[in-house]
Amino acid sequence: MTATGDARPSETYSYLGPAGTFTEAALKQVPEAQGKIWRSVNNVGEALADVTTGRSTAAMIAIENSIEGGVSAAQDALATVPGLRIVGEYLVPVNFVLVARPGTALADVRVVNAHPVAYAQTRGWLERHLPDHGHIPAASNVQAATSLFADDSNADAAVAPPGIVDQLDVDVLAEGIGDNPNAVTRFVLVSRSLRIPPRTGADKTSVIVELPDDEPGSLLAMLEQFSTRGVNMSLLESRPIGDELGRYRFVMDLDGHIEDERVADALLGLRRFSPGVIYLGSYPRADRREVEYHSKYDDEVYIEARDWLRGILSGEPEV
Amino acid sequence: MTATGDARPSETYSYLGPAGTFTEAALKQVPEAQGKIWRSVNNVGEALADVTTGRSTAAMIAIENSIEGGVSAAQDALATVPGLRIVGEYLVPVNFVLVARPGTALADVRVVNAHPVAYAQTRGWLERHLPDHGHIPAASNVQAATSLFADDSNADAAVAPPGIVDQLDVDVLAEGIGDNPNAVTRFVLVSRSLRIPPRTGADKTSVIVELPDDEPGSLLAMLEQFSTRGVNMSLLESRPIGDELGRYRFVMDLDGHIEDERVADALLGLRRFSPGVIYLGSYPRADRREVEYHSKYDDEVYIEARDWLRGILSGEPEV
Amino acid sequence: MTATGDARPSETYSYLGPAGTFTEAALKQVPEAQGKIWRSVNNVGEALADVTTGRSTAAMIAIENSIEGGVSAAQDALATVPGLRIVGEYLVPVNFVLVARPGTALADVRVVNAHPVAYAQTRGWLERHLPDHGHIPAASNVQAATSLFADDSNADAAVAPPGIVDQLDVDVLAEGIGDNPNAVTRFVLVSRSLRIPPRTGADKTSVIVELPDDEPGSLLAMLEQFSTRGVNMSLLESRPIGDELGRYRFVMDLDGHIEDERVADALLGLRRFSPGVIYLGSYPRADRREVEYHSKYDDEVYIEARDWLRGILSGEPEV
Amino acid sequence: MTATGDARPSETYSYLGPAGTFTEAALKQVPEAQGKIWRSVNNVGEALADVTTGRSTAAMIAIENSIEGGVSAAQDALATVPGLRIVGEYLVPVNFVLVARPGTALADVRVVNAHPVAYAQTRGWLERHLPDHGHIPAASNVQAATSLFADDSNADAAVAPPGIVDQLDVDVLAEGIGDNPNAVTRFVLVSRSLRIPPRTGADKTSVIVELPDDEPGSLLAMLEQFSTRGVNMSLLESRPIGDELGRYRFVMDLDGHIEDERVADALLGLRRFSPGVIYLGSYPRADRREVEYHSKYDDEVYIEARDWLRGILSGEPEV
């Protein structure tokens, strides 16, 4: 937890700590968070509770990992905790280093401490370079490294995020040991603010939608709400509602901002269609890539159509 | 042409005449037309020209026949003559009588005068009862009967609409000689008025829509505009646009009124989708049958969704 | 009727005559018909009856006109007369000449004889060049010209197909008087033969399909049978079934041949879906334009998928 | 691991152990596994490796949990380990007991050992009955209970599956402490056998499908493969392919058996459509509920359509 002298109590950002995690790396990308209080928490539930209770201004949480898929707990929390909004998106390359107590050589490493997910993502490298290593599972990436300094440590090295070198006095035995060089984790910054970030042209809109019932075509019908408006989806995850098998809600990211006419119209269609739709927010894409869509879905087309309808309803001659 | 003394010149109704036609029978169903000037014309083009030039208040034209299909000329005229609106729909049973000069017996009939369409629709009866008859084609149903009194008439009997007995001194040799007892022709009353008839709950909305281009899925995409809003179609006719083979416009009747939210929303979708959509009007169905639709497409659902969206956009907490 | 000496009786082709019609022009495009008996008939019903009774080998009928739309009678006949197959498609430019008795000058023309459809298609020219002309309707294009030589003829000129100069001793006062220079009529050659013309890669397949019932989405469902197989439609016409208002059958031309896997599969889908589907034939396109489709709908893709399924069902390991 | 005397080495079933887990409860439902060798393994990877190497006949793995959603590791393993087939489905109610060392009273409990997932599912009960308890996370449900007997145990009670009482000498302080009484976990039995279990009429078919690319409508297009054949989906889970963000594969359960014509045809459609489809098997549903589908998707309808097509292709007259 880093506190600066002049921050007001409300200016606090919660994140999955401790310092050195990928989540902290995401938070470092947020200009507004610099120089404010950063509150390290143990899991996504605590992070979101900080926001709903007003203890923190916002919380950074992992929402999707290109290797691990949707971070279920985060998605379920957003679906069930009311009053939360996503206000920003951040990408952190998932890269790992192999660290050890100072003075350790790679050749000395027999046992590696690693969080199971990190272990899975570095296993190829480890098996090539340390074919005879043993693995001790850790509760988190940072703890894997921290444990090297515990009295009863049996591990010679640990798999950790690159940021660990700012927190611990470790030697880096190898860098970039992740098996997939493109691996990246997607984080979102969540707040209680109902003020929607302004439209930039490179935005995402996140929603969670419950299907009307278990009837065959309802998912198809939902997707048609987007296709008829030219709205592309960049994420579709099904999550069980939890009351019985076979009932799902869908976590979706749409290309565009709620102030884009085509997105607003698709949201109207969703709302009419679904027994439960949660608007999670519209916010700039992490990659700042302009949203592409066919010109037939331009705002002007929507506005012109409404003017046309209004003219008919008010008895004006068509033009 | 029937004129009453006190009608203002503008209060004129054009119809395909002369008196005795099915079109006249349709006009007799219009309460507002009673006691006004009825102007008999020769074809649908003249009828609509009367309306566009202001010579007539409205014109009655045949738009669909359960045997003959879309009345192409009428549909094409509505697609190309601007400023016309359908304000009412009327059904006339297509029934025929066999008539002859007074004193003629059925056994005497050798040659029958009949409009080709009427002949096609009574052929079964004629072949059963007059197996050796000959057929002389007439230019219209009424002319078939009128021709019996021409100097050079070679016909002994004529196929005519039942209303003919009010116009000519003929004997009815047989009634109900149509081969299909359910045959019916659908007429619409067309005017220049931009005032839309009020919503009754048993309404139709007529539109003509041009597809964006010849690409495979465009018709499918158009139909999805309706299916995603729960709007049913009761008529779909394709008509060639006429500039080259393979280009069509579609004449459609939708269940519901433009003031029904789901219909208005479907029209917005059509307008955005199509390079050319013509709103022909919303008007009470001839059969006065209440439009049925799923409650999830109720006006309230549309209004609630708009309120929800508006709340989000203005930063209100969701409820 | 043109007969050549060595034709066997069965080698007869029926067409809407007399000589000089557009239909005859279509028949002239058929290599197999050259030197055979050509039988002139009065309407499409007679032409098809010739085929079903075996009197003729085949009949040429107009099926679509870029101005007039579907030729309803022909489409309805194909839907109701069993045992007919389309074996070829032919396009004839719809062009007109203004003809008169020899010695007539354009300036002398006061009254024009013309079939109503031809009149509609040349009206622009006539009104520009003969602003004060009167119109006498004729029963057919050829008859318009023939009538110039009748004793009681009141017409000074006639609108006729270009081929008329081979049949009658007329002067051509003007050529190319059609208002739409791209107008074309599509003809099909119909036979009883069940042998399907071989696949050329530039083929059409014609079907007539009845929708399962009046439920909202059934047309959409039918079109999806094509879109999921990448099969394009070049014609879609709705025709009333005729038993009651609101019931339609659809006349469709599909791009491709029944021996194309994707077309065959779409036909299977149609057959399962529809209470009544009529296969009218697969035949080379008049324009000989290669059918374009995405490579994911290649025959090989269909064959590979079947092999894959067969392998699974027979317990082979997947490859 | 339970071994019976006469089992051949190949007759081994792997499961997530140790004895007492929900997975063991699932395996107890398999008649064929009774009296055979049961091999306890540590995770789904080991279980599937046992099958692929031939060490075990089959492995029982959790595939879906009504609370936790898709068991990601299992789904990803099925997508990437070739040669596996699901041969059976089993449901186990997810119920928990609170256990303690003999002699412990509920009032004495201060610290509870529980696997995090189990803890999440019993938290409501624990907070009501033990408002001041602390939580120690365990690596598994069984380990939570086992740890009570470790020398350094700090826990007074453990959350465990009901089957634990057969394995350990514990007192049950409370039963049915799960917060959701309907919670159930779905397990599948996985083998290398390519023999598909016979069709019962109450079957499921599991597939994993990769979408062709990131284009807007591809998921919609995939779902239409099912809707046009009347095939219902009971599971749809998206899983990241893992090479980059935004690329997914879909894990799906279809109602019906591969020998059902409509399912086979949908599989053909999937195979043609998708760059990678994995058939995971057809097997009886755990709930033995007959699959419901519209009679228009009966096997007979498919067979009739094929006969019709074959007749056309071989030149037979239609009937």
**Distance separating the N- and C-terminal Cα atoms of chain B:** 64
Q: Residues B168-208: pLDDT tens digits?
A: 999 999 999 998 888 889 999 999 999 999 999 999 999 99
Does one domain contain both C67 and C187?
yes
Q: Which helix (H) or strand (E) holds A22?
A: helix A22-27
C269 touches chain D (CB under 8 A): yes
Q: Which helix (H) or strand (E) holds A265?
A: helix A261-273
Per-residue pLDDT, averaged over A153-159, amounts to 92
Tokens encoding D264: 């086979």
Cβ separation D220–A233 shorter than 8 A: no
Q: Which residues in chain B touch residue A228, judged by CB atoms under 8 angstroms apart?
A: 221, 224-225, 228, 269
Q: Which residue has the tokens 């709705």?
A: C238
Does any domain span residue A5?
Answer: no
CA atoms within 13 A on the CB side of B80: 13
Per-residue pLDDT, averaged over D249-268, amounts to 95
Residue-level pLDDT at B155: 92
Q: Which residue has the tokens 């409509």?
A: D262
Q: If you count them, how many residues does chain C have?
A: 319
Q: What is the pTM of this model?
A: 0.84
Does any domain span residue C284?
Answer: yes
Does any domain span residue A6?
Answer: no
Does one domain contain both B268 and B258?
yes
Q: Residues C182-240: pLDDT tens digits?
A: 888 999 999 999 999 999 999 999 999 998 875 667 888 888 889 889 899 888 888 87
Averaged pLDDT of chain D? 88
pLDDT > 80? residue B6: no
- Residue numbers of the domain that contains B127: 97-175
Does one domain contain both B264 and B226?
yes
Interface chains of chain A (3 or more CB pairs under 8 Å) = B, D
- Residue A249 · residue A241 · CB < 8 Å: yes
Per-residue pLDDT, averaged over A2-19, amounts to 69
The vertex-D243 CA angle with D239 and D248, nearest 5°, equals: 25
Interface chains of chain B (3 or more CB pairs under 8 Å) = A, C
Least confident of B2-11, D18-27, D243-252: B2-11
Does one domain contain both C208 and C252?
yes
Does one domain contain both A262 and A239?
yes
Does one domain contain both A261 and A240?
yes
Cβ separation B318–A279 shorter than 8 A: yes
Does one domain contain both C157 and C235?
no
Least confident of B267-271, C16-20, C234-238, D212-216: D212-216
pLDDT > 50? residue D14: yes
ipTM of the assembly? Answer: 0.86
Does any domain span residue C2?
Answer: no
Picking from C136, C131, C293, C280, the residue whose alpha carbon sits closest to that of residue C202 is: C293
Averaged pLDDT of chain C? 88
Choose one of A112, A140, A175: the last residue of a domain: A175
pLDDT > 60? residue C98: yes
Residue-level pLDDT at B40: 94
- Residue D161 · residue D95 · CB < 8 Å: yes
Does one domain contain both D134 and D250?
no
Does one domain contain both B41 and B190?
yes
Cβ separation B296–A272 shorter than 8 A: yes
Does one domain contain both A65 and A189?
yes
Least confident of A156-165, B163-172, C37-46, C264-273: C37-46
Does any domain span residue C1?
Answer: no
Greatest alpha-carbon pair distance for chain C in Å reads 87
Q: What is the CATH number of the domain that holds C125?
A: 3.40.190.10
pLDDT > 50? residue B1: no
Residue-level pLDDT at C310: 94
Cβ separation C238–B243 shorter than 8 A: no
Q: How far apart are CA D67 and CA D149, in angstroms?
A: 30
- Banded pLDDT at B2 (limits 50, 70, 90): very low
Q: How far apart are CA B178 and CA B172, in angstroms?
A: 14
Averaged pLDDT of chain A? 88
Per-residue pLDDT, averaged over B37-63, amounts to 92
User: Closest Cα of chain D to C309: distance in Å?
Assistant: 7
Q: How far apart are CA A314 and CA A312, in angstroms?
A: 5
> What is the number of other CB atoms lying within 10 angstroms of the CB of residue B93?
15
Does any domain span residue D3?
Answer: no
Picking from C271, C254, C272, the residue whose alpha carbon sits closest to that of residue C263 is: C254
Q: What is the CATH number of the domain that holds D233?
A: 3.30.70.260
Backbone angles phi, psi at B251, to 5 degrees: -95, 125
Does one domain contain both B142 and B254?
no
- CA nearest B222 in C: which residue? C220
Please give the tally of structural domains in chain D: 3
Interface test with B, best of C232, C239, C245, C291 (most B CBs within 10 A): C245
Out of B221, B279, B312, the one facing A258 most closely (by C-beta) is B312
C313 touches chain D (CB under 8 A): yes
Does one domain contain both A163 and A189?
no
- Residue B257 · residue B205 · CB < 8 Å: yes
Per-residue pLDDT, averaged over C39-51, amounts to 90
Tokens encoding C68: 């007039």
Choose one of B163, B195, B227: the last residue of a domain: B195
pLDDT > 70? residue D319: no
pLDDT > 80? residue C1: no
